[in-house]
Amino acid sequence: MKVLFLTLLLGVVCAAQEEEAEQNLSELSGSWRTVYIGSTNPEKIQENGPFRTYFRELVFDDEKGTVDFYFSVKRDGKWKNVHVKATKQDDGTYVADYEGQNVFKIVSLSRTHLVAHNINVDKHGQKTELTGLFVKLNVEDEDLEKFWKLTEDKGIDKKNVVIPLLSSHIKLLFGWLIHPEQL
């Protein structure tokens, strides 16, 4: 009886892992919003910076191996809508042309959150590493932990993390408004 139970349990675990590995990204298409963006180059995410983006929608196309990013970015004090298409590579990363060349990797993904790492090389050859936390609904503590771990692993200082829609003088952490000096 124990052998039968263990065999059944092993089968369920294997099926769950297989299902997770074959996740249909197209099902995750829809409205997403930016929570945090971190950068090794703070100029890229400062007010009016090219990567101080606010995601509105992601459209994954599994058949074509693409993802379309629809986001807003503030330029010269005015919000501008931007659309960027990225193409999936054999190694699972996505490549896109926006403010230079970008290699984008999904580090953690579920139906409710996306934690990502992007390497941007601009037209001057300057390399910038960025991290981002994007959600569909509410921010969960586990999502924040994944984002902060990735950000730390990439050598990005907490002071170089922004919330695109808030002023540069306040930040949101675990649901509380605090001043950056308190981070």
Tens digit of each residue's pLDDT (9 = 90 or more) over 17-64: 333 445 688 899 999 999 999 999 999 999 899 999 999 999 999 999
Predicted TM-score (pTM) above 0.85? no
Residue 49 CB neighbour total at 10 angstroms: 20
Question: H or E element: which one contains 120?
Answer: strand 113-121
End-to-end CA distance of the chain: 54
DSSP three-state, residue 45: coil
pLDDT at 106: 94
DSSP three-state, residue 152: helix
Matching CATH number, 25-182, of 3.40.50.150, 3.30.930.10, 2.40.128.20, 1.20.1260.10: 2.40.128.20
Query: What pairing do the DSSP bridges indicate for beta strands 53-61 and 66-75?
Result: antiparallel
Q: Measure the CA–CA gap between 158 and 14, rounded to whole angstroms.
A: 38
Question: Which residue do the tokens 């190694």 mark?
Answer: 91
pLDDT at 22: 52
Tokens of 163: 């919330």
Tens of pLDDT, residue by residue, the chain (183 residues): 444 343 344 443 433 433 344 568 889 999 999 999 999 999 999 989 999 999 999 999 999 999 999 999 988 888 899 999 999 999 999 999 999 999 999 999 999 999 999 999 999 999 999 999 999 988 888 988 999 999 999 999 999 998 876 543 344 444 444 433 343
If we measure between CA atoms, which residue out of 55, 32, 44 comes closest to residue 135? Answer: 32
For the chain, give every domain's residue range: 25-182
Q: Where are the alpha helices (DSSP H) in the chain?
A: 2-21, 141-153
Burial readout 107-136 (b: 16 or more C-beta within 10 A, e: otherwise): bbeeeebbbbbbbbeeeeeeebbbbbbbbe
If we measure between CA atoms, which residue out of 74, 56, 57 comes closest to residue 162? Answer: 74
